[in-house]
Structure 1
């Protein structure tokens, strides 16, 4: 299932991790592992935030994806099921 992960980083923890090199390291590891079809980075609600769209094959993948964000950055995470235009058309065609 295609999902969008949104991670908002605690500012103090993110500041520290930028200076120690942990933030770029985690981002590279995460991008290499998830191979997202899209990844964006920017501020939201005064926090460093990333949005990644990728295929979540099984819900058991959530803990290993989420834990580094929680433990290293006190991040707030959301996993949201999403569709692209093709997915939407396929779903709408099944409505009778």
Structure 2
């Protein structure tokens, strides 16, 4: 399944890593290991951040995605499952509505 991972990199230790020349090398190692489908860098709440999409075949692989960010950058990570249009079609929303919609609530 595809997951959206949002990574927030606190100002420190990232600033110190930039100053001593280690930030870029560590970022490259992390990305080479995780192999995201895509990754973009931005800011969130005034901090450096990255947003990436990764393929997760088993929930036990989540620590291997998060730990490099935690251990190297003291980052926070959030994981959200993603659905493609065909995934939402498989959910059969009409069947769910028939099961859960209560006309007496209106």
TM-score range, shorter chain: 0.7 to 0.9
Q: Normalising by the residue count of structure 2, what TM-score does the alignment of the two structures yield? A: 0.75
CA–CA separation in structure 2 for the residues paired with 1:21 and 1:83: 38
Aligned in 2, Cα 1:94/1:51: closer, same or farther, shift over 3 Å? same
Indicate conservation of the 8 Å contact 2:39/2:52, yes or no. yes
Structure 2 regions of 5+ residues with no counterpart? 96-106
Alignment correspondent of 2:61 = 61
* CA RMSD after TM alignment: 1.9
Deviations 1:38-83 (A, max 9, x none): 2110111011000001111111111122112112211111011012
Where relative contact order (Cα < 8 A, 6+ residues apart) is larger, the structure is 1
State the structure with more CA Rg.
Answer: 2
In structure 2, what is the equivalent of residue 45 of structure 1?
45
Bigger CA drift: 74-83 or 12-21? Answer: 12-21
Match of 1:28 in 2: 28
Q: Please, what TM-score do these two structures have when normalized by structure 1?
A: 0.81
Q: Helix, strand or coil: the match of 1:57?
A: coil
Task: For residue 24 of structure 1, report the CA deviation from its aligned partner.
Answer: 1.9
Q: Paired residues, what number?
A: 95
Write the distance in 2 (CA, Å) between the matches of 1:26 and 1:70.
12
Instruction: Provide the C-alpha distance between the structure 1 equivalents of 2:34 and 2:89, rounded to a whole number of angstroms.
Output: 26
